Amino acid sequence: MSEPKPRSDAWRDWKEDDAADDGFKRLTREEAAALRAKEPPVSPWRVVAAQTAVGGGVALLAWLVGGGREFAWSALYGAVTAVVPGALMARGMTSRFSSMSPAVSAVSVMLWETVKIAVSVALLALAPKLVRPLSWPALLVALAACLSVYWFALLWRGRKS
């Protein structure tokens, strides 16, 4: 009986000069540090702070334009339904445990995103009991405004704070 032929390991067979053919260049430590400095990551806490400010602004605008505390409280609660779950996820994602390894980090993202969705749904379900009288349009406008901050956070990537 012959011995099984060992499999070829693609990573071992890969040659450095193959990378040059594909236009890929391996970065040195200094080049990687310069790239990180040029493209800084956006802090999740900065996004949560921006959501809080936007939510407060929408609530103030609802009070001034809507003409009543009903609209302001509803808009403020709408902001809370975006900010509190976002803060929970930011806290979970910035913990030491979530950065232990790539596998733990991936599971942590899924776990905290699930928590974020569950808390958001629970807060929306509790809205009629906690905010009386409730203005759904004001709540939803504030929620949408706060959630749109995530899109603007993508624009902040290249800017230094």
Cβ-proximal residues to 141 (8 Å cutoff; 6+ apart), any chain: 58, 62, 75, 78
Q: Whole-angstrom Cα distance, residue 74 to residue 34?
A: 46
Lowest mean pLDDT among 50-54, 71-75, 92-96, 130-134: 92-96
Where does the pLDDT of residue 119 fall: very low under 50, low under 70, confident under 90, or very high at 90 and above?
A: very high
How many independent structural domains does the chain possess?
1
In a domain, 80, yes or no: yes
0.75 exceeded by pTM: no
In a domain, 4, yes or no: no
Range of the domain at 141: 43-156
Mean pLDDT of 2-9: 58
Q: Whole-angstrom Cα distance, residue 145 to residue 62?
A: 12
pLDDT by residue (tens digit) across 72-96? 999 999 999 999 999 999 988 887 7
